[in-house]
Amino acid sequence: MFKNLRDFLSYLENAGDLQKIEEELSPRHEIQAVMKYMDKGDGPAVLFPNVKGYQIPVVGNLLGRRRRLAMAFGVEEDQIVDEYYRRRQQVYQPKLVADGPVKEVIIKSDIDITKVIPALTHHAKDIGPYFSTAVTIAKDPETGVRGMGLHRVQIKDRNTLGLFLATPPLSVFLKKAEELNRPLDIAMVIGMDPLTFFSSVIWAPPGLDKFDIAGALAQKPIELVKCSTVDIEVPAQAEFVLEGRVLPNVRDTEGPFGESSGYYFTYQNPVVKIQAMMHRKDPIYHALCLFSQEDSILMDVGWAVDNLRPLREKFPNIKRIEFKEMGQLGVVQIDKKAESEPKEIIEHLLSSIFIKQVMVVDCDVNIDDQNELNWALISRLRSPQNLIIKPDMMGSAIDPSAVMEESTAKGKLSDINSHIAKVTKIGIDVTKPLNELEKYEKVDISAEVKANIAPIINKYCPNVKIF
């Protein structure tokens, strides 16, 4: 397993999956633009050693392809979910150590984030630079239980940040702190090993430390060090840590910012004051390209590992489930035994806030092939009963089609816990009717011929699967 970000980068470079861009580029729009276009092709990770105005390199598109997430796990792409569940069976609690590389440089006075960290300005109408990979860590003010999540962060000035804190557990921690009229201590970590970073977006039940998840995935305890000014522990091998406090009951305009959904949003959000910074002597800044393959893979694979096992327990005929479009589109493959199964699965999944559309297909449909999904939709949608439309469902505030409550009109939120709105959701059953299976039999090549040609296909088209 990779101990830190730079170990993973060395591995990617040796594997030919890291592209260096030697030209000097600005963190204001230019680096993000290159990352965006590099994401369109074969999509290697991208390293920018020459950043205009800074001595620190930027790396992006880190997990922009499933193959790199598979590399982080040390498995094949189609084994990620099963390997995730296998490793979750053994818990490795984090280990507190006295020191680590992230504490090589500690700054407690005259902090100026804007001069140290080459945070990117991502999109044409963004208000300014944002941290897109800052994993925010805090503790429950009542219980001391630690929680963390990936939240967008606007850099307002040298030591002031705007924080979009819309989801638990951190939104709950802030609410508790504000009820006590106390600031919420936080630490923002940038540049972690790939599995710890991936763990930050995994759903965890209340009370479960995500560093336990990260340790399980790494198959060893994650080493943590104490922060210098707040009572929070952070990964010892990280590149940067920002320590600060969320000011109680203070809101300020944050945005516009081009979100993962592909649209700009502006909100009234909490304000953070940074009081200390720790980093390596030669840090690397990890940036995430929003509205991209990497953005989608983090959420889609995260949703898959969150949902597959509980879904299979309730619906044992499910064979695979894939999420697309930032987890909002779920495609379920089943070996249907009863006509009621697809609708039950659809109803179950659409009850989630973030899932907006569900399609259920048969086992003869390759859910990795968009052409086959389109074919199933065109040829197997039989009647209005197979199309489920559910208006006024709870949805996400970064969905521009969401109907916001009066207090959240135009994205102007007065309450951090009201980042939820009403959306219309769709479920589509495109499975074959059980009494007409022969009518819907898919054309295919015989198993014998597939076996005979498999070596030829593997030789000339190694990325093509023989189904």
Residue 326, pLDDT score:
65
Residues 6+ apart with CB under 8 A from 99: 225, 236
Measured N-to-C along each axis, helices 80-87 and 293-314 cross at an angle, to the nearest 10 degrees, of 60
Residue carrying the six token digits 């003010």: 141
d(CA 433, CA 428): 14
- Say how far residue 430 (Cα) sits from the centre of its chain: 29
d(CA 331, CA 365): 11
205 CB neighbour count, 10 Å cutoff: 6
Task: Give the domains, in start order, of the chain with CATH numbers.
Answer: 5-293 (2.30.110.10), 315-436 (3.40.1670.10)
Query: Which regions of the chain are under pLDDT 70?
Result: 326-327, 405-420, 463, 466-467
d(CA 126, CA 403): 23
d(CA 378, CA 374): 6
Q: By C-alpha distance, which of 284, 337, 296, 332 is closest to 312?
A: 332
Q: Look at the chain and count its residues.
A: 467
DSSP 411: G
d(CA 335, CA 315): 10
Residue 39, pLDDT score:
83
Backbone phi, then psi, for 73, in 5-degree steps? -85, -20
Query: Is it true that the peptide bond before 169 is cis, omega within 30 degrees of 0?
Result: yes
Dihedral over alpha carbons 450, 455, 460, 466 (to 10 degrees): 30
Residue 157, pLDDT score:
96
Rg (CA), the chain: 23
